[in-house]
């Protein structure tokens, strides 16, 4: 029996917590997993605070832990969600900052590493950083004893680089930075503190990501038969029929 999976590789993105903790209540990862219940596994590989430079280093280990190219052929999609930590201002947050050109190259290398492990580019979805509400995030920074360390304009540069890298790799892209600010809407409702996703932000990500995922998983059958279809007198004939 083949078990298909959707791997959520979103180690950094909107400030760390939004990806590592996306499986918490009302998280966008939990929403996607719920939609795919009994159709495939949704694997969380989010690492709070990480940037694309560090992800590029550890990705081979993550891929090897998936065991084999045969297993990777059963991956329906991989999301690559970086940028909000990379775009931290170099003079205010050098530990997380990654120059935009290196960020772009890291995304391309991540795509190449995935392809070499059997995950083709048409199964990869890049996700850009969302916008930053500087006034709200500055308050959080001050509480932590540091100055404002991110600008929305910088997040936009990294979002643009992500969109371009996706196009060059042949991958899909979910441009949160643009979508959340489209038509002058109040994007602050999507952020809990100016940087991390709010409940509405998680819902926004889940809704738009599902739009890219749905066609990829539409034909997946349910794993194992419906309970009412199991032969009670000979359950093995129903439950082991694919082995």
Answer whether residue 153 shows pLDDT above 90. yes
The predicted pLDDT at position 208 comes to 97
Instruction: For residues 23-38, give the mean pLDDT.
Output: 89
Rounded alpha-carbon distances, angstroms, from residue 5 to 101, 118, 193: 31, 14, 32
Q: What is the pLDDT of residues 211-237, one digit of tens each?
A: 999 998 888 888 888 899 999 999 999
In CATH, what number is assigned to the domain containing residue 113? 3.40.50.1110
User: So what's the pLDDT on residue 11?
Assistant: 34
The residues, ordered by sequence, that sit 6+ positions from 192 with a Cβ below 8 Å of its Cβ are 198, 199, 201
76 torsion bin: left (phi>0), alpha (psi -120 to 50), beta (else) = alpha
**Domains in the chain, number:** 1
More confident residue, 40 or 87: 87
pLDDT of 137-151, one tens digit each? 999 999 999 999 999
pTM of the model: 0.90
Range of the domain at 120: 5-239
Percent of the residues in the chain that have a pLDDT greater than 90, as a whole number: 70
pLDDT in the model for residue 201? 96
pLDDT at 4: 46
Report the chain's mean pLDDT, rounded to a whole number.
Answer: 88
How buried is residue 209: exposed, middle or buried, by Cβ count under 10 Å (0-12/13-18/19+)? buried
25 versus 211: the higher-pLDDT residue is 211
Residue 164's pLDDT band (boundaries 50, 70, 90)?
very high
Residue 126: its H or E element: strand 124-127
């Amino acid at each position: 029996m083949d078990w298909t999976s959707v791997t959520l590789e979103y180690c950094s993105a909107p400030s760390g917590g939004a990806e590592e903790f996306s499986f918490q209540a009302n998280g966008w990862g939990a929403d996607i997993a719920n939609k795919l219940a009994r159709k495939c596994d949704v694997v969380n590989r989010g690492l709070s605070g990480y940037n694309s430079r560090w992800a590029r280093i550890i990705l081979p280990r993550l891929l090897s832990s998936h065991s084999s190219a045969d297993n990777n052929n059963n991956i329906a999609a991989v999301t690559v969600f970086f940028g909000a930590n990379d775009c931290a201002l170099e003079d205010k947050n050098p530990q997380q900052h990654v120059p935009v050109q290196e960020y772009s190259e890291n995304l391309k290398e991540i795509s190449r590493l995935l392809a070499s492990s059997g995950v083709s580019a048409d199964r990869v979805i890049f996700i850009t950083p969302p916008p930053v509400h500087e006034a709200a995030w500055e308050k959080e920074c001050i509480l932590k004893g540091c100055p404002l360390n991110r600008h929305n304009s910088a997040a936009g540069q990294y979002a643009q680089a992500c969109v371009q890298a996706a196009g060059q790799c042949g991958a899909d892209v979910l441009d949160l930075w643009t979508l959340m600010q489209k038509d002058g809407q109040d994007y602050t409702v999507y952020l809990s503190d100016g940087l991390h996703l709010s409940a509405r932000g998680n819902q926004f990500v889940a809704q738009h990501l599902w739009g890219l995922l749905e066609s990829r998983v539409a034909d997946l059958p349910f794993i194992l038969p419906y309970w009412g279809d199991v032969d009670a007198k000979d359950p093995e004939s129903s439950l082991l029929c694919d082995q």
